[in-house]
Amino acid sequence: MNAARDMSERIFLLLHEKDNTVTALKNLAKGEEIIFDPEEESARITLRQEIPYAHKFARVFIPRGSDVIKYGEVIGAATEDIHPGDHVHVHNVESKRARGIAS
């Protein structure tokens, strides 16, 4: 399904302008077009996978080893290249929090 949606429908949330991830506010389908700015063609991405409610997807290319950013803060490192529209979760992000701390 390639139905375009606009920001007024509130299907995603960009928490901070520095974020390279976006949070889904509902289940989103693979192939769905996400429009960040209707006036700018480059501000659109097509989802490459299904994105479950409250999960993240990439809004820009995140190279392997690069920081994954949410809330304007680094939440982990990409363990593989992550393309715009990819699901961002434990399968492709390694946490940078609490490293080296024994439990």
- The CATH architecture one would assign to domain 4-95 is Roll (2.30)
pLDDT of residue 16: 95
pLDDT of residue 43: 86
Region class of 10: left (phi > 0), else alpha (psi between -120 and 50), else beta = left
The most distant pair of C-alpha atoms in the chain lies apart, rounded to whole Å, by 50
What are the sequence ranges of the domains in the chain?
4-95
pLDDT of residue 38: 81
- 64 has a pLDDT exceeding 60: yes
Q: In the predicted model, what is the mean pLDDT of residues 7-24?
A: 88
pLDDT of residue 100: 52
* pTM across the whole model: 0.82
- 98 has a pLDDT exceeding 80: no
